[in-house]
Structure 1
């Protein structure tokens, strides 16, 4: 489970920004107990958080930063065939930011006992300047390792192991860790059992879904899962039921007896359901919906975090609301898995269409200031949010921020002035 994520100096995010999934006292019914506590109080986590904001406000960059960690930890910047250094993206609108490190850190609750871990690293263009892993097996912090590169000629950095929490051979991991590699990844590769659980979370429990570009890949991955001999039948039943319930005109799905290809069955007016050619006859909306279902059910089955950029680009508001409710339903999501998504869809705040599937503390607003820096804040911080607020209307009217600063018809007026000027000079 992911209670929080922090990032700085990545794309439009200049200063440290936190995405917290810890429930607040304003949560009404969606939070899940974690078994963990802070300052003597139980900690509950949110199964779903939605990030709103204007175009280019930086909301997608929050998810991009998590995806950066998702790829960095398994790969550890280890592809020697590519250009040397670390392919990070520091804040581009301040020259000094290019010389500063970027910052990525997660808090995790892992295992049956929900042990808390804090893991993070700070890369520069050339190497990992700092890295750390702290554990809280009995509620008190244990520093498993701290790494810091103090000098330009300091190859792998200085490693400290101040306690006895990190078990296993350490010297071999230290000598095997190159400047651009992560100690966590090297340790897990060398079968250190203490590091394996945290490393495995990045490998198995972060599932990014982008807006459109990866639909073919996700479609083929989903179709492969559906044809799996062990689990395919149950998944076919579940995936076939959802489009039928969503009123997409689909009665279910089947496997072609000759090719083994997955086919969606469409209702007909006066006969049995008919299969259509998936790529040539199904709509782009059906492609997007189908490609979404594989990762969705995988995360619900196995646990983890589903990262969805622009949830509204592939799902109707009513379908998007049902996906949110899946994650918030205790029986449908017993692990529990978590959903973090970006959207412009104010109807998910209710009550006009989607009947308000999100609690007050599940909504974040991405804002960009005058110098191009993105910040992230809950709507409860932007303005006091009462339980009976029409949050959909307040969002659209800009009470929480995160909307374009335009007066009605302003773009049309500006274009008309440009066209008038062009005609005058023709």
Structure 2
């Protein structure tokens, strides 16, 4: 689980901002809060981030995406670190961008942090948070490693650090060097932290196209219950020769896909995904198909790209929901614009289904950004589960938790207070300026005619 995320000097976040999922003393919906007895600690299973356009919601998402990329993928030797600093003052270019994660892995809390410029890693630190003290595992600064007393005797770790480039995280290099010691931290970022952008399509495609998948029927039942008009999803085999890709790529697929391997490609234009695998020496290509009822109850196949954006978004989110309600899962889903192309009632039903399955042993989390103010509802969410991003006049984004407002009662319609501007995070619209510009344009058009 993600306990805290702190960032600074990233895109519109010039100053330090922290998103926390540590529960306040609020009692509402307390029965669904995960409890970490070792510390002790109550965490939030869900977090909603609201705010006006260009207020910084997506920039927060992009910060998490950047951090995951830098840790999991790393950088090439001669490449710059693709950080995006705050560009609205001259000083930020020369200041590092900083990221701090407090994460829960098998009921142990770790803090992993790093600060980078476009060229080098300035500092990197891994700490185990114990119930009574903090135990520094390693601390990289001044281009030198500083290990705890136990690890300081490990010559191979020192050797691995010497092979860590200035533009590379030590955590990433240890995994590349097959050092298992810090791999649980790396694996959390690679496998547990899932980021879904508004335009991400068919990330769970394999589950839908494999009719032998145990979840296949469950996903289809959920899809039917959400009034999409789809009876079921299935697959259709197509010949490799008929796929609209270059002959070079076809040849490469034929030579490089090994027995049992599966790859996903997209047909350009409509972004229709295709799965290609090799079974018993033969290449097999499949594409996802939706089926609708004909007036005579006959099933009629449709290409997925022919479905509405909302239906495609639902297809994206159903496997996410199944993961979230899986008692054995421990994933953190970060979804930017969860309500994109969805009706409010559909979005709310997805959230309610997840929350109804949350309990003290839950180790999944859902963090999302949204413009849908009908989700700003204390019957659905606790106050400490709701946050607002606000862009200041100097361009800096601040992150504010609604639990910081003492005057919000449990029975209060917080949407009204939010829309009245009492909490910030709403667009600063100047009607006079808009009208003035329009009148000038209209007058100019009349003169030209």
TM-score category, normalised to shorter length? 0.7 to 0.9
Q: CA RMSD in A?
A: 2.5
**2:411 match: secondary structure:** coil
Instruction: Choose the corresponding residue for 1:400, options 408, 423, 437.
Output: 423
1:172 to 1:9, Cα distance in 2 relative to 1, 3 A: same
> What do the CA deviations read for 1:308-344 (whole angstroms, capped 9, x no partner)?
1111213221121122223323369975311111111
Task: Pick from 215, 228, 231 the counterpart of residue 248 of structure 1.
Answer: 228
Counterparts of 1:20 and 1:359, CA distance in 2: 14
Q: Residue 28 of structure 2 corresponds to which residue in structure 1?
A: 28
Deviation of the 1:304 alpha carbon: 1.4
Shift of 1:59: 1.3
The yes-or-no answer on 1:176 pairing with 2:156 is no
User: Is contact 1:326–1:332 with CA below 8 Å preserved after alignment?
Assistant: no
Deviation at 1:69, TM superposition (A): 0.8
**2:93 matched to which residue of 1?**
98
| Residue 308 of structure 2 corresponds to residue 287 of structure 1 | no
Residues 300 and 73 of structure 1, relative CA distance in 2, 3 Å threshold: farther
Unaligned runs of 5+ in 1: 150-156
1:373 matched to 2:383: no
User: What are the within-5 Å matches in structure 2 for residues 264-343 of structure 1?
Assistant: 264-279=290-305, 281-298=306-323, 300-301=325-326, 302-330=329-357, 335-343=362-370
How far does residue 228 in structure 1 lie from its aligned partner after superposition?
Answer: 4.3
CA distance in 1 between partners of 2:302 and 2:360 (Å) = 32
* Mapped partners of 2:73, 2:23: distance in 1: 32
Q: 1:87 to 1:254 in 2, by over 3 A?
A: closer
1:68 aligns with 2:66: yes
Check whether the contact 1:47–1:327 (CA below 8 A) recurs between aligned residues: no
What's the CA shift string for 1:74-113, capped at 9, x where partnerless? Answer: 1222x24xx53211111000111000011001001101xx
The C-alpha deviation readout for 1:361-390, integer Å capped at 9, x for no partner, is: 110010111110000011222462110011
Aligned residue in 2 for 1:346: 373
Distance in 2, matches of 1:332 and 1:269, equals 44
Match of 1:238 in 2: 218
Matched, 1:160 2:160: no
In the alignment, the residues of structure 1 paired with residue 150 and residue 408 of structure 2 have an alpha-carbon distance, to the nearest angstrom, of: 46
Give deviations 1:245-265, integer Å, cap 9, x for gaps.
112222333344777543323
Structure 2 residue 133 is the aligned partner of structure 1 residue 140:
yes
C-alpha distance in 2, partners of 1:165/1:13?
35
Conservation of the 8 A alpha-carbon contact between 1:383 and 1:400: no
CA distance in 1, matches of 2:435, 2:360: 50
Change in CA separation of 1:379 and 1:85 when aligned onto 2, cut-off 3 Å: same
Quick one: structure 1 residues 368 and 134, their matched pair in 2 at CA, closer, same or farther if it must change by over 3 Å?
same
TM-score by length of 2: 0.81
User: How far, CA to CA, are the matches of 1:331 and 1:308 in structure 2?
Assistant: 18
C-alpha spacing 1:15/1:320, structure 2 compared with 1 (3 Å): same
Shifted more, 95-104 versus 356-365: the winner is: 356-365
Equivalent pair of 1:300/1:336 in contact (CA under 8 Å): no
1:161-240 correspondence runs (5 A): 161-164=147-150, 169-212=156-199, 214-215=200-201, 219=202, 221-228=203-210, 232-240=212-220
Distance in structure 1 (CA, Å) of the matches to 2:439 and 2:429: 17
Would you say the 8 A contact 1:142–1:165 is kept in 2?
no
Change (3 A) 1:135 1:295: same
User: Deviations along 1:271-321, whole A, 9 cap, x unmatched?
Assistant: 144332222x32222122213334443455432111111112132211211
- How many pairs align? 397
CA distance in 2, matches of 1:8, 1:289: 34
Q: Distance in 2 between matches of 1:299 and 1:265?
A: 27
* 1-structure distance, mates of 2:3, 2:152: 22
In 1, the alpha carbon distance for the partners of 2:194 and 2:121 equals 24
Q: CA deviation at 1:192?
A: 2.6
Aligned to 2:410: 387
Q: Distance in 2 between matches of 1:110 and 1:405?
A: 41
Distance across 1 between alignment mates of 2:151 and 2:355: 35
Question: With structure 1 as the length reference, what TM-score do the two structures score?
Answer: 0.86
